[in-house]
């Protein structure tokens, strides 16, 4: 990773968000067109540099919107994909014979960190700019993700919901129905579910799979300013006692799943 950052890993960014109420809402409000990892990364830099968070764009992007980045402003560092070609070689057959197919270079992708982005507060111009927060429709998200609601038939009153394959069910007496729905959605999106029923209750063992799903529910609830975030935060913090952070690879999966769900329910909303 190039460039100095407030947090070096996605795990640390998620850990900070879990322990700081309101940070996810602030990140989504200001940077909802970007992935959650990048949104939190941008927010951390704005806070540390005392820059007002707001709409984010590249230098050329602001020029197209008739706004100029102020002289001396330093860009924010975000993670971006870079596509490149890996030279294909065939040591066993260095010469191409007639009628054989030519060996093609392999196209690969890697992620790098670059200081290419600026927030609205770092620009000036006559043209005003506002970025509306997209609406979210839960039923549309379910339809786009190919996930269906199934009847809730569990007799145990402590069970809040369950997920099976691409189906979810939420108890009619669930304490926070939308949070449970996001939790079960996360199980499906994260491919935790199989043909075997995966149920969630207060007695469910606290393990990495459950923490991933609850972290996604936390991100969705807080980003959409819905209640339930504090309950989810407490659940995750309890699991994290004595541990510095959620493992980096799990944090990456959590951010990706939350992006997928929120994008599916936000018509026309793009993610970078």
Check: pTM over 0.85? Answer yes or no: no
Rounded to 5 degrees, φ, ψ at 86 are -100, 125
**Could you tell me if 201 and 158 are in contact, meaning their C-beta atoms sit under 8 angstroms apart?**
yes
d(CA 192, CA 212): 10
Among 77, 19, 79, residue whose Cα is nearest residue 44? 77
Q: Where are the domains of the chain?
A: 10-124, 138-264
d(CA 30, CA 67): 18
- Using DSSP, state whether 143 is helix, strand or coil: helix
**Could you tell me if 38 and 237 are in contact, meaning their C-beta atoms sit under 8 angstroms apart?**
no
List the pLDDT tens digit at each of the 272 positions of the chain.
344 444 447 888 888 888 888 888 888 888 888 888 899 999 999 999 999 998 899 999 999 988 999 999 999 999 888 776 776 655 444 444 455 455 566 777 777 888 999 999 999 987 777 777 778 999 999 999 999 999 999 888 788 999 988 999 999 999 999 999 999 999 999 988 765 666 665 544 456 788 899 999 999 999 998 999 888 988 887 766 666 678 888 888 999 999 999 999 987 544 44
């Amino acid at each position: 990773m190039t460039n100095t950052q407030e947090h070096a890993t996605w795990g640390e960014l998620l850990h900070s968000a879990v322990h700081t109420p309101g940070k996810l809402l602030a990140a989504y409000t200001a940077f909802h067109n970007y992935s959650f990892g990048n949104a939190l990364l941008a927010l951390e830099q704005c806070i540390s540099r005392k820059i007002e968070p707001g709409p984010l764009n590249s230098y050329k992007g602001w020029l197209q919107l008739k706004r100029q980045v102020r002289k001396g402003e330093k860009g924010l560092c975000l993670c971006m994909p870079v596509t490149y070609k890996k030279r294909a070689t065939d040591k066993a057959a260095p010469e191409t014979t007639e009628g054989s197919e030519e060996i093609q270079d392999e196209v690969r992708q890697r992620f790098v960190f670059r200081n290419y982005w600026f927030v609205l507060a770092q620009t000036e111009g006559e043209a005003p700019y506002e970025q509306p927060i997209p609406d979210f429709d839960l039923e549309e998200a379910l339809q786009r993700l190919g996930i269906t609601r199934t009847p809730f038939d569990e007799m145990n009153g402590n069970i809040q919901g369950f997920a099976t394959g691409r189906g979810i069910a939420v108890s009619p007496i669930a304490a926070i129905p939308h949070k449970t729905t996001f939790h079960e959605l996360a199980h499906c999106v994260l491919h935790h579910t199989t043909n075997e029923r995966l149920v969630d209750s207060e007695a469910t063992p606290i393990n990495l799979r459950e923490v991933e799903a609850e972290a996604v529910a936390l991100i969705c609830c807080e980003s959409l300013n819905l209640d339930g975030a504090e309950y989810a935060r407490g659940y995750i913090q309890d699991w994290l006692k004595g541990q510095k952070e959620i493992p980096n690879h799990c944090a990456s999966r959590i951010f990706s799943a939350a992006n997928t769900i929120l994008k599916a329910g936000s018509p026309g909303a793009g993610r970078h």
